[in-house]
Amino acid sequence: MDFFGSQEAARRRTSLLVVYFFFAVAAMILTLYVAAVGTLTFANSRTSDPSVGVSWWQPQMLLLVAGGTIAIITMGSLYKTAQLRSGGAGVAEQLGGRRLQGNSRDPLERRLLNVVEEMALAAGTTVPPVYLLDNEPGINAFAAGFTPGDAVIGVNRGTVEHLSRDELQGVIAHEFSHILNGDMRLNLRLMGLLHGILLIAIIGYYIVRGSGFRSSNRREKSGGQIIVLGLAMIVIGYVGLFFARLIKAAVSRQREYLADASAVQFTRNPDGIGGALKKIGALSAGSRMESAEAEIASHMFFGSCRQSLFQALSTHPPLVKRIQCIDPSFDGDFSSAVKKTSSKPSKKTKDDPQAALEGLTRSLGGLATAGMGESRIPVDPVIVMAAVGEPTMQHVDYIQGLLDRLPDALRDALRDPFSCRAVVAGLLLDSNAEIRANQLQIVQAKLGDLSHQETNRLAPLIETQGPATRLPLVEIAGNTLRNLSPSQYQDFRETVLELMKADAKIDLFEFALQRVLIRHLDEHFHGHKPQRATYLSIGGVKQEVSNLISALSHLGHADEAGAKSAFEQASAAFAVEKVLVMRPRGECSLKQVGEALDKLAQGSVGVKKRVLHAATIAVMADGVVTTAEGELLRAIADSLDCPMPPLLGASVA
């Protein structure tokens, strides 16, 4: 699977969606026009002079119908799109989802949160909020959002009750495929557009209902005509529903096969997702959704939420066929799938503290130690770029081992919004005693005595974890801190910025924290606006690219010769355009890097790929990367919406 290729394919599918939508609207206009003229013909047949016919070609009527239909569809689509601007959280709440808190003690909820957390950190994304659909007994799940940074995961109650941990992991891996491959944004656009089509039927329903109360003889004739028109609009609305389902099927069905394959590639465990699909077939509830809102979101789910009489209208491939793609030996017999079903998590799972270091020692060996304990890691830019949006089970094992090593007190603090602020403050404390004392005074003044005490309590625990743990802690904190009130977040934000300025300089980790944590929280609390691809070629951002690559070349090399060599190697990514101009060291700063990234985030997928490739080469030109440089590189990738998994070294394929 190719992350950048999948992103580009998603963009092309968006164009295809527009074409489908155009034909659907045209068909509805034509049908509604025929219904309108037919209504006039029916009315004329009941006049005193029925010999007077009605022409079937009426340009003014066609323009009126076309204008009205387009206006209704546009208003309906704009209304729904505006509703969806809140991103995935809005979708989850419409479907009846309840956001799970990080400090939940329910064992099934805890297992779900742990699986999502592991998958997110392994993929290099911020940990998404998780919503549990308590009133849904079927096995289903979905991912929704505009970008990996604002995604949410929704899971049915039946999913956590009926699936084992491996099966749950397979389902979550499937949903992360949709997050990483650009499917979510397309799905939200599809929801907005199709709501406008379905609005025709809703209006027809209210016309018929309102006309039914007419009782005077004088209004009977006109009332009858309006009822006929209303019924026609309902029928046309169902024509719209037909096209809506056809469009969703055309856009989403193939993506489900790809997401299944990605889940197998991610987890290296076909029995996980395969077992989940088999249990859907075995259980009476299957993957059915009870929510009335599920119809418009049916293309987003892991399994088909509605039965369709015609396979061409199904949003998902046949269940048996999906399973056979994963397990060719499957014969279609679901009877044995429920034998191992249990509503309680197994005692021997990654959620059991007694299983602390299993993931670390099982498959990584010395590589995990190198990744967590040493300050310099051997890397290969080609391998690092190939891993963007393509995490493997080795990344999951690495993260499981890292999380298992965290003290319970630190894990508990990361799940609580109040204590989580102290974790972030502890990560920013300086090693210099005088600066550190000043920083603690800032915490006390801005967040209060209790936060000051909590920071002092947690700081020693944080320091024992080593530098490789810092960025995962930040990524976990991002999800928990979304539970702050706007005023609490503002105080926290000001505190973080003051802590960074306490030593009169911004280091690489502080810059990474600002890009990975504060930037995403700003988008959450101040409203996230999806970035459009404004720059389709390097030419429009050549100054920003030059600033970025120059700064990275200087940051990684104290000597000018080394910096020049790194810059020249990175420039090879733009050899045809020859757009890069190396800036002097005195003109390069992390502030310029941040400003460049803000503009480069508006680039096309192709632009982002080449920029990230060049940045990776610049950072890794000497063949090794420090932990701080790795954090910076991953922060750059995150800023470009290109999730980069943890850097495990050159031997990770």
- CA dist 447 and 264 (Å) reads 45
Structure tokens at 28: 């509805």
Surface-to-core class of residue 333, CB atoms within 10 Å of its CB (0-12 exposed, 13-18 middle, 19+ buried):
exposed
- CA 4 centroid distance within chain: 15
Pairwise CA distance, residues 645 & 391, whole Å: 6
Instruction: Please name the residue that has the structure tokens 């022409």.
Output: 55
Nearest Cα to Cα of residue 481 among 401, 427, 400: 427
- Of 233, 341, 198, residue with least CA distance to 282: 341
Those residues with Cβ within 8 angstroms of residue 247's Cβ, 6 or more apart along the chain or in another chain? 17, 20, 21, 24, 190, 194
Query: What is the enclosing helix (H) or strand (E) of 625?
Result: strand 624-626
Catalytic residue among 175, 256, 390, 629: 175
Instruction: Say if CB 633 and CB 616 are below 8 A apart.
Output: yes
Report the side by side order of strands in the sheet with 98-99. 98-99, 130-133, 152-156, 141-144
Task: Burial-class residue 521 by CB neighbours within 10 Å (0-12, 13-18, 19+).
Answer: buried
Q: Please give the Cα distance from 621 to 635 (Å, whole number).
A: 18
Question: Please, which residues bridge with residue 535 across strands?
Answer: 603
With 0-12 / 13-18 / 19 or more C-beta atoms within 10 angstroms meaning exposed / middle / buried, residue 302 is buried
β-bridge partners, 625:
377
What residues contact residue 589 under an 8 Å CB cut-off, 6+ apart?
551
Active site residue 494: no
Encoding tokens for residue 601? 């985030």
Residue tagged 């199709």 (tokens) = 194
Cα within 13 Å of Cα(398), Cβ side: 27
Distances (CA, A) of 163 to 158, 195, 271, 329, 536: 8, 33, 12, 21, 44
DSSP state for residue 153 in the 8-state scheme: E
Are 248 and 312 in contact, with CB atoms under 8 Å apart? no
Assess contact for 177 and 279: CB atoms under 8 A: no
Which residues are identified as catalytic? Answer: 175
